[in-house]
């Protein structure tokens, strides 16, 4: 099951508040409905496939819980307040200002402290992924060129049939990062499959 790092991005919801409840338990740690709602896009309430979207995002939160448990076991990752401040500032830019974001939080029964904790968890997960799956990741040039001449070129021509293919050297760095991210995702998937097999997971929705 693909673990999407996109789901680590916090999204505020325009939906009305509902009574909070447990939607899943991962090794005795609950995942709340409010946490799940935070992962949904703004237009989620109007989407016909909302139940499937909620299930997909819940699976991502279960994966996050498994990673956080491993982080707690290892005790080598920390996130400083300044790092949380930086992430909070980046998010506040989407609302125009920190005060405007706080106003939106308050109107939805959410708190700045809760948002900070959500961001702290996401930053911890990113540090774990970087440390465990990315830090020693290297791609040989012949592998990059094979990707360039094969799948990537075919995809580029299908998407931009009228455009000339960019020279290899011009896109080499971009392709290297794509291959690294693909490898990171594959290795993370394998780790998560093993972690899920050993975990006690109960889904209540």
pLDDT in tens, 63-107: 999 999 999 999 999 999 999 999 999 999 998 998 898 888 887
**Please, which pLDDT band fits residue 17 given cuts at 50, 70 and 90?**
very low
Q: Tell me what the pLDDT averaged over the chain comes to.
A: 87
Q: Write out the two tokens for 110.
A: 């959410």
Q: What is the widest separation between alpha-carbon atoms in the chain?
A: 56
We report the CATH number of the domain holding residue 155 as 1.10.4030.10
Q: Which of 181, 180, 186 is nearest to 139 (CA)?
A: 180
pTM of the model: 0.78
For the chain, the distance separating the N- and C-terminal CA atoms, rounded to the nearest angstrom, is 19
Most confident of 58-67, 105-114, 128-137: 58-67
165 Cβ neighbours under 8 A, 6+ residues apart: 153, 156, 157
Q: Domain range for residue 116?
A: 5-203
Q: What is the pLDDT of residues 39-69, one digit of tens each?
A: 877 666 555 678 888 999 999 999 999 999 9
pLDDT of residue 37: 83
Instruction: Provide the pLDDT confidence category of residue 128 given band limits of 50, 70 and 90.
Output: very high
Give the number of domains in the chain. 1
Residue pair 63/192 in contact (Cβ under 8 Å)? The answer is yes
CA angle 9, 92, 115 (to 5 degrees): 55
Can you say how many angstroms the Cα of residue 69 is from the centroid of all Cα atoms in its chain?
A: 16
Average pLDDT on 108-112 reads: 76
Q: What is the pLDDT of residue 43?
A: 62
């Amino acid at each position: 099951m693909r673990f999407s790092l996109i789901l680590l991005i916090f999204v505020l919801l325009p939906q009305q508040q509902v009574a909070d409840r447990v939607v899943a338990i991962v090794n005795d740690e609950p995942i709340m409905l409010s946490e799940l709602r935070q992962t949904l896009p703004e237009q989620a309430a109007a989407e016909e496939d909302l139940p499937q979207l909620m299930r997909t995002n819940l699976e991502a939160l279960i994966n996050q819980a498994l990673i956080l448990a491993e982080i707690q076991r290892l005790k080598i990752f920390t996130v400083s307040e300044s790092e949380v401040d930086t992430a909070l500032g980046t998010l506040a830019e989407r609302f125009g200002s920190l005060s405007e974001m706080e106003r939106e939080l308050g109107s939805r029964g959410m708190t700045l402290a809760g948002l900070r904790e959500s961001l702290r968890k996401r930053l911890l997960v990113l540090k774990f992924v970087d440390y465990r799956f990315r830090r020693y990741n290297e791609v040989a040039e012949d592998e990059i060129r094979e990707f360039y001449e094969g799948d990537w070129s075919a995809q580029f021509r299908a998407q931009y049939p009228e455009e000339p293919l960019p020279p290899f050297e011009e896109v080499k760095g971009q392709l290297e990062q794509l291959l690294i991210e693909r490898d990171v995702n594959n290795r993370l998937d394998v780790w998560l499959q093993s972690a899920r097999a050993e975990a006690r997971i109960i889904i209540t929705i």
